[in-house]
Amino acid sequence: MPSSVSAATLPPSGGSAPVRGRRREGCRGLRRRWPGSHPGGVTRPLIDASWRRVAAAGVDRGGTTAPAVLPGAEVARRVAAGPLAPMIPVLRDRLEPVARACGQILVVTDVDGRVLWQAGAPEIRRGADALGFVPGAAWGERSVGTNAIGTCLVLGAPVGVHGDEHFVDGHQRWTCAAAPLRDPVGGELLGVVDLSGPARTAHPGTVALVAAVASLAEHELRAAHDRSLEQLRRVAAPVLARVGGRALVVGPDGATAAVTGFSGPPRVHLPETLDAGRLLLPALGLCRVEPLPGGWLVRLDDAEDEMPATRLTLDLTGTRPRLTVAAGSGSWQDVLGLRHAEMLLALARAPLGRSAAELADDLFADPTRTVTVRAEVSRLRRTAGPVLATRPYRLAEGVVAEVLRPADPSTLLPGSVAPVVARERLSRPVPAGGPAPG
């Protein structure tokens, strides 16, 4: 899914000296008059909006709070098991030579802004280390203020941030250009690719270059995915010919390769760990699953009607949030991303439900971000399916929810800056693995 580059996203690295001077004065005005009315000078609206977000989140402009860093083993696990692993070789081959030649570093982050991989000029990497710009660090807006990575994650579009446009004072000597990395099949945001370096290395074409290479990585991943599905179709054809009733064959990511007996969804959400047997799948109900070379045969259980989910367990005791949904004799579980864990926590604590504005306030401290909330709920429904209801957003009727928290509430969902999580961290300690207090 290609990312477009608009003039508004480009860093102010070009133009005449007077224009550059007015841009710098616009950023200085932000600093002098923050918070307050929109300052004079030439300040790009996306930078002004970002500064308002990070100031509301309480980000320290002095940069005295170092970004939280994950252990190296956890970073390696996220790279190996995450969806960005197939993209990194393409990004490395196309952009690392550019980074080294220009005196910059190449960075790949996940959808939460965690730095997963880094390469480039050694002397520039040492400078990045001094800023805490290292593998495992959280580099979203709410962690380190306005920067290309964090703002790209918020906007879902290519972004350049240069010099004084950075919110944190210590970042003003840097320039950065980032582009989103998306799932080429479902379109979900997976992370960000970024080129960063000293301000003197800024070039007006960097944002477009990074966006083009991100699109190339997505295209190559899509082509590889299509080839694997075609191979699975050839394997599945004789199997489906012998199946009575409704069934479909899906790849490891749940993409449908072939179907018989009904129309079938284009994609089925599969739990992280899938074993042969009977289980509840969100979009299909009770099913029987059998392994195939390169995928799974999913037979819909036509013997009984689809059962509504009756129990939801949100386990937040570890570093990876886990969701378990059970109904009758079927159940499924999956590992959640940070944003979906935050959303389910907010809904579990609000039995009467939350409006889109209220949920936006819970997640972003910004009730106007209702479009983002609706998109995230739509994605979460692909995972949680029958446990969610709308108008208002809430857990479905009859669902019994349990939230398991760590004994020390301050360790809940490390890296999260959502207000709903901040409130939970202020709760009294509970026994390890115990449910959240009502």
| 24, two tokens | 């710098």
What is the model's pLDDT at position 309? 54
What is the model's pLDDT at position 35? 42
What is the model's pLDDT at position 28? 53
Q: Which residue has the higher pLDDT, 192 or 186?
A: 192
| 14, two tokens | 């070009």
Question: Is the pLDDT at 41 greater than 90, yes or no?
Answer: no
Question: Is the pLDDT at 127 greater than 60, yes or no?
Answer: yes
Mean pLDDT of the chain, nearest integer? 84
Rounded to an integer, the average pLDDT of 75-93 is 92
What is the model's pLDDT at position 153? 93
- pLDDT tens-digit map of 242-258: 988 899 999 998 999 99
Question: Is the pLDDT at 8 greater than 70, yes or no?
Answer: no
Answer whether 307's CB lies under 8 Å from 329's CB: no
Residues in the chain: 438
Most confident range, picked from 36-45, 91-100, 273-282: 91-100
Question: Is the pLDDT at 99 greater than 70, yes or no?
Answer: yes
Closest alpha carbon to 235 in 185, 291, 276 = 291
Q: Which residue has the higher pLDDT, 412 or 386?
A: 412
- Residue 72 burial (C-beta neighbours within 10 Å; 0-12, 13-18, 19+): exposed
| 6, two tokens | 């608009």
What is the model's pLDDT at position 82? 86
> Which neighbouring-strand residues pair with 137?
69
Rounded to an integer, the average pLDDT of 93-110 is 96
Dihedral Cα 94, 95, 100, 102, nearest 10 deg: 120
| 183, two tokens | 């799932």
- pLDDT tens-digit map of 342-371: 999 999 999 899 999 999 999 999 999 999
What is the model's pLDDT at position 355? 96
Question: Is the pLDDT at 38 greater than 60, yes or no?
Answer: no
pLDDT confidence tier of residue 20, bands split at 50, 70 and 90: very low
Percent of the chain with pLDDT over 90: 53
Question: Is the pLDDT at 2 greater than 50, yes or no?
Answer: no
Rounded to an integer, the average pLDDT of 189-193 is 95
Sign of the dihedral through C-alpha 316, 318, 323, 324: negative
Question: Is the pLDDT at 225 greater than 80, yes or no?
Answer: yes
What is the model's pLDDT at position 310? 73
Question: Is the pLDDT at 172 greater than 90, yes or no?
Answer: yes
Which stretch of 20-24, 92-96, 176-180, 230-234 has the lowest confidence by average pLDDT? 20-24
